[in-house]
Chain A
Amino acid sequence: MIVLNCHKGIGESVQGEALVAKDNFSARYDLDRIKGVFSRPDHALAGQSYDGKILVMNTSKGGVASAWMLHEMKARGVTPKAILFNTANTILAQGAALAGLTMCDRFERGDVTDLIQNGDVLEIDPEAGTVTITNRD
């Protein structure tokens, strides 16, 4: 078990499997939100499903639309379980607050896309600001 400390985040405590990329995130620019896959051809996760995963990415980019889109994705039930960033921008934090989606950022030990590996099983406690990797020591 590895415990990572981060900034206090938004949303409920959740558990899930990590989908990691050294890339950035925009709900409007990068996703096919009906199918639940990354659709932008030059995205590191192009073609991969994000449904039910904990996304681990560098930062959030692009437009303000993502603030609504997380809410719509959650209502439709095709959504990541949580998103972890090195740094979130304001839009994604606002979107998480509206949608009730779990989101944390700013990890003490460095680049979260290095600290967490694809397929790691995670427990996130946004109120405490901790992410626990349960499958590794």
Chain B
Amino acid sequence: MRLTDEEQAMLAGEMGKAQQWAIDHQIKVGGMFDAKDLVPVSQAHMMGDPEAVGEAGADFLEGLARDGAKAKIPTITDPRGVDLSYYEPMGQTEEMASLERRIIGALEKMGVMMTNTCINYQTIMPPIRGDHVAFGDTGVVIYANSACGARSNFEGGPSALAAGLTGRTPRYGLHLDEKRQATRRLRVSEQPKGLTDWGILGAVAGKTVGSYWEVPVIEGLEVVPTSDEMKHLGAAMASYGSTPLFHLAGITPEAPTLEAVGGEKLTTEVLDADAMNAMRSRFGGKGDKLDVVVFAAPQLSLVEMEQVASLCNGKKMKVPLFACAAPQVYPDAQRMGFVEKIENAGGKVLVGTCFYNGFAREVGEANGWKRLLSNSAKIVNILGGYGYEPALASMEDCVSSAIAGEIV
């Protein structure tokens, strides 16, 4: 890999042990993907919840902080795993909270901004087309690449942090023009309606392409998704397919036409209604017992908070309902009375967490929650591996089911 004089100095340890670790890590990863050099990035977004980071990761982060690690570029964080103002009622333990506090302490010492959000493209600073960034959280990366036309690979916590410390990332994958061209051409046969439909489309498209190195271009859409719909489309596609970039022909910035991303040369694969219904019917049926309803993955925007609040207003729920809000959204949602409407109906708004990344297995066991309903195809995908029997429904049906105490 070609290194500048400054990068050579970092690698030699002349800028401290933390930067030396960071650039050494980047060279190892870049080597596996044939990166020829490092590219400057404008922002890093880092995932580091306690369940994923663990004791070993907390030790590692504290070590970096002791070694004088300092973020060189704006470095922000993905949701926390523990809402420190509401963890005991969730069945989370003091050990989990204390691990969370250690991680936060170490990151703050490094100058990392604890934004604790997976919707930074809606709440902090959406990147610009052509902007090289080092984002973590697959939902954030796929949105930044696809909806914004920015350039990021999936950067796990350690790599996003390394990018924050060096201000660079290895130039491979989606930082390169040629890796952003479409490799699969998918056609929809029905028009998505509502967040869950967009999530199902994402899930089917992700399952169909099924690899980090495939770029689907989707054609046939007659409706332009809202930002929240794009969020669910992308989050589900990334979750089911490990997909970091998609194009919507005539909609997303790099695909004003099918030809712009090389789509016309590809064979069309139709995502027919059967494929969509198969995805729907994988999940629960009417009248099934229900333990908990969750709105998360990704965190809710202010607009979604308003929608949930309207549905909850004046109702009483028979089963617990959680809505995970970004910390940037929460104060507005509180000021506008959305939090009160949800909580008066028996729901709870969690701040800066995203449910599935907060020891979901232990939380489920502590509360006896198995049958979980959500409008997020992503969370339904994840929690199947965590001892839950998750089911998918629209936001309206989720709230109605929480009120009825069974799947409606």
Contacts and interface: CB of A to CB of B under 8 A. Distances in A.
Q: Do A and B come from one complex?
A: yes
Interface stretch (A13-21, A47-55, A59-67, A114-122): A59-67
Nearest to B378: A63
A67 B56 contact: no
A90 B382 contact: no
Q: Determine the main DSSP class of A at the interface with B.
A: mixed
Interface of B: 25, 28-29, 31-33, 47-49, 51-57, 60, 78, 136-138, 153-159, 172-173, 210-213, 239-242, 357, 381-382, 384-385, 387
A72 B54 contact: yes
A115 to B, nearest CB: 19
A63 B138 contact: yes
Contacts of B239: 62-63
A94 B158 contact: yes
Contacts of B154: 64, 89-91
B356 to A, nearest CB: 9
A88 B384 CA distance: 23
18 contacts: A9-B32, A29-B385, A39-B385, A61-B241, A62-B138, A64-B78, A65-B157, A67-B52, A68-B157, A69-B54, A71-B60, A72-B56, A76-B54, A90-B156, A91-B154, A91-B156, A97-B32, A97-B158
Contacts of B49: 65
Interface size class of A (residues with CB under 8 A): 35 or more
Contacts of B173: 90
Given A8-B31, A64-B138, A59 B211 contact: yes
B54 A89 contact: no
| Residue with the greatest number of chain A CB neighbours at <10 A, chosen from B55, B138, B241 | B138
Chain B contact surface mostly? helix
Contact of A94 (B55, B155, B211, B213): B155
Given A61-B242, A98-B25, A87 B212 contact: yes
Nearest to B213: A87
Interface of A: 7-10, 24, 26, 28-31, 39-43, 59-69, 71-72, 74-76, 87-91, 93-95, 97-98, 103, 105
Contacts of A30: 385
Nearest to A86: B211
B210 to A, nearest CB: 7
B57 A94 contact: no
Nearest to B174: A90
Contact of A62 (B53, B159, B211, B242): B242
Given A59-B210, A60-B212, A68 B57 contact: yes
Contact of A67 (B33, B156, B357, B385): B156
Contact of B25 (A7, A88, A97): A97
A65 B47 contact: yes
B242 A64 contact: no
Most central of B153, B154, B155 by chain A CB within 10 Å: B154
Given A90-B173, A93-B29, A64 B157 contact: yes
* Residue from the set B33, B157, B210, B382 with the largest chain A CB neighbour count within 10 Å: B157
